[in-house]
Structure 1
Amino acid sequence: MDWPTSLPDYARDVAASRKSHPLTAGMPVNVTPCAFWHDEPRDKPVRITDQGPSNVLLVQNKRDVATPYSGALGLRRAFGDRARMVGVDAMGHGAAYVANGSGCADRRVTDFLLTGERPKRDVLCR
């Protein structure tokens, strides 16, 4: 199967997917913004360093298949002492705060949002 190259091609694939896979209703083959992004970046990638303000709090689920925990650890290392990380021993993407049911993580993130104070060290919430 070839990748779609136009919106009508996507519409055709979504209609077929809805019939063959009603549970996902065409979502896996639907158009996403990245389908029409240019191959070359428009701006230079941002280089993350340990230079700059110390006001960064990273929040990451350990079992997030879209953004792996190993990547968050690498980002944390690149920030150096500028950042702290709240890791959450949970699954899911975009649900490390409030939606995952971790009071440990929720308290630390809420404290940061209300006061700007980060935890003294990185935390892994179970």
Structure 2
Amino acid sequence: MSDLGTLSYYLGIEVRHGNEALMLGQSAYASKLLEWSDMAECKPCVTPMEERLKLMNASTAARVNTTLYQSIVSGLRYLVHTRPDIVFGVGYVSRFMEDPREDHWAAVKRLLCYVKGTVDQWIVFSKTGESRL
């Protein structure tokens, strides 16, 4: 077995070691997800979801490309590993992966705009035991 040195990148998760903390982030992965979804030039927003948003399975809005919707939501689900701030929104839009509609897609785009504005957020595990974004 050989020593590969300090871990810095693993499965799309960037790792930074400090004297007081360990930091995990996925800024490169988030940027790739934004580019792949054609949202790299979107205007950032400050919240991941609209307040009191109600989405339904029985929506009458137009259908969207199911494969694209599933791919992007799956990408967001992987981003959740280091982004607890988007967990609720990603879980909510994941409910509609079987038959996505325009209103569901609008919620996914809102999440992507939020990710655009917060692409450089890291989760910090301090040696004192308190974790924070």
TM-score by length of 2: 0.29
Larger radius of gyration: 1
TM-score by length of 1: 0.30
Greater relative CO (CA pairs within 8 A, separation 6+): 2
